[in-house]
Structure 1
Amino acid sequence: MNTSTRRRLLTVIGTPVAALALWAVAVPVAGVTLTVQTGGTPQTTGPVAVMVASLLAGLAGWALLAVLERWTARPTRIWTIIALVVLALSLLGPIGSAVGTAATLVLLLMHLVVGAVLVPGLAGPRS
């Protein structure tokens, strides 16, 4: 396994770890209830949802980057722009669906933490 693949694998694994660390501080320690309205029904965001969503985001990002590396001349630049646009759009989710200020802030921060791990981790130099 080359250095680039190892770094990207660790990034994808580290993303849910970072998101779960934030969840652990916000929910059990600080007592924030992460409730969102989905289809008019309130749902609590638990650790499994946090883990799965952040892991899927990492895998999707890596897959897109692999496709871009194969078919474009400037894959990292294109990927970074797409990743930042997707991150910005993802922030609309908590703003529109979170129940309460604390839940909104924690979910926004969680999205930003996932982006802060994925963007530099996946877009780093190829080896």
Structure 2
Amino acid sequence: MPETINLDSPTVRRPRLRRTVTLLVAAALALAVWVVSVPLAGLDLTFGSGAQEQTVSPASVVLVPLLVGGAGWALLAFLEGRFRGGRRAWLITAWTVLVSSLLGPVTSGASGGVLVTLLCMHVLVGVTLIVGLAPTSAR
């Protein structure tokens, strides 16, 4: 008979709470970078040109880390539930995704302060998610 997991037990709630807080912190940090860069420093956080031009809004700055973090959380839960080395596989995948994500700002046509801001957001969100989600995993 399959083992039943009590979702209200402290061992389940603590990782879930930590993971939720991690996603919220990642989104808040990205928004803080946006606030410093756009309203305070006066940076026009726009990249690309013509029909490809995109402006980074505060909504996207908050929504993307929550979505990416949720996807990372789901992958971690899947891997740790199915494979003995799930946490290690997730860490390798997460660091690879973070490094790959840096190509987005670099190849977007952004330059100067916009490029630095986008790279800072990517690194800050990625590292926060990796450092915040990984320790909650079963080893």
Residues 94 and 108, structure 1, Cα contact 8 Å, conserved in 2: yes
Structure 1 distance, partners of 2:60, 2:120, is 16
Deviation at 1:19, TM superposition (A): 0.5
- Residue 4 of structure 2 is matched in structure 1 by none
**Counterpart AA for 2:39:** P
- Residue 41 of structure 2 is matched in structure 1 by 30
- Residue 52 of structure 2 is matched in structure 1 by 41
Deviation at 1:92, TM superposition (A): 0.3
Larger Rg, first or second structure (1 or 2): 2
- Residue 85 of structure 1 is matched in structure 2 by 96
Instruction: Name the SS of the counterpart of 1:4 in structure 2.
Output: helix
TM-score, normalised to structure 2, is 0.85
Tell me the number of residue pairs that the alignment of Structure 1 and Structure 2 aligns.
Answer: 127
Higher RCO (CA-CA < 8 Å; seq separation 6+)? 1
Superposed, 1:100-111 pairs within 5 Å as 100-111=111-122
Q: Which runs of no fewer than 5 residues in structure 1 stay unpaired?
A: none
Q: Does 2:35 align with 1:18? A: no
- Residue 86 of structure 2 is matched in structure 1 by 75
Gap change, CA 1:63 and 1:39, over 3 Å in 2: farther
